[in-house]
Amino acid sequence: MALAIRRSTSEVFGAAKWFIRRDCRALSTLPEKAVEVPVEKKRDRPVVSRIRANARNPNLALRHVYPEFLPDPNPKWRNSLREKLERTDMLNRRKQIDIPEFYVGSILAVTVADPHAQGKTNRFVGICIERKGAGLRAEFTLRNVVDHQGVEVRYDLYDPTVHSIQVLRLEKRLDDKLLYLRDALPEYSTFPFDMDPEILPDGTPVPVNPVQVKLKPRPWLERWERQELQGVSNIEEHLKEKDRVRRELRKEPWEKYDLMKQYRKTIPIEDQNDIWAEVNHQLKQLQLTRKKVSRKRTFGVPKTQLG
């Protein structure tokens, strides 16, 4: 009798575990990795469950497009009133300027009012290597190589001095952060300032650029070999035997089974539903008005050419 009860409880526990893991994976705020597709082909069930989860809840697709609307999951920093106020502020700001959809790896052009030169603006073009922060504190970093000198500029997404944010090339890369571009050869982060925007046709998924960069020889700024990077091709060339041993010792393959850790990193689905229900309508309206404006622009009167 006792044995039967124990077995049944263990089964229930296992089932619950499976459910939690399935939901957590669907809920993660981290950007989806491009390499997941070939890996997941082997396991059929998670793919189906994710599609079902997305079909059930269309809101969940928004968390990649507007990651800054989800608050920081750390319970110390949660405050529902502040989050709500911040969301209204963000929507108000989005009514003023067009903050487009972009990802780490996209190439952006940001124009900012320059308080140091009166009445002038400052335009910077670069590849987005990092995007972090939630709410009004959301920020992103652009990197470019200008005159053989690597330059990085960090911008606040909701900074009132920002005049415009333009996506010149919308694409993703193989990693969540491209900080390794600092140690890569300069041609991988060189972009001309007079780049023309590349327009993707409506409805196409965001392309993933599978380029693998080459790192310069050591010393590096970080231990890239321990970070399981997909977008670096020649990392093994620069490693010694010692580094390979250390990398094996430092690996934490059990991390992905840590359900509690995953749970703490994500916002629960109930909270997300509340947030998206609050902002979804307004975001859609904003998108529609932008589309109308852009169509008007495309069918505008052609400029008469002089001469």
Whole-number Cα distances in Å, 304 to 102, 125, 245, 293, 307: 34, 30, 68, 22, 10
Among the listed residues 116, 240, 242, 296, the single contact to other proteins using CB under 8 A = 116
Q: Which two tokens stand for residue 12?
A: 């229930």
69 binds other proteins (CB under 8 A): no
Binding of residue 258 to other proteins (CB under 8 A): no
Structure tokens at 233: 């091709």
Q: How far is the CB of 138 from other proteins (least distance, A)?
A: 12
Q: Does 152 bind other proteins (CB under 8 A)?
A: yes
Question: Per CB under 8 A, does 23 bind other proteins?
Answer: no
Query: How many angstroms separate the CA atoms of 299 and 297, rounded?
Result: 6
30, 48, 51, 151: which one binds other proteins (CB under 8 A)? 151
Draw the binding track, 86-115, toward other proteins (x: CB under 8 A; -: no contact).
--------------------------x-xx
The three-class DSSP label of residue 176 is coil
Beta bridge partners of 172: 208
Calpha distance 194→176 (Å, rounded):
27
Q: Choose the binding region for other proteins from 6-14, 101-109, 149-157, 238-246 (rule: CB under 8 A).
A: 149-157
The only residue of 23, 32, 156, 278 in contact with other proteins, by rule CB under 8 A: 156
Region for 171 from its dihedrals, namely left if φ exceeds 0, alpha if ψ lies in -120 to 50, beta otherwise:
beta
Binding site for other proteins (CB under 8 A): 112, 114-117, 122, 124, 139, 146-156, 159, 161, 182, 221-222
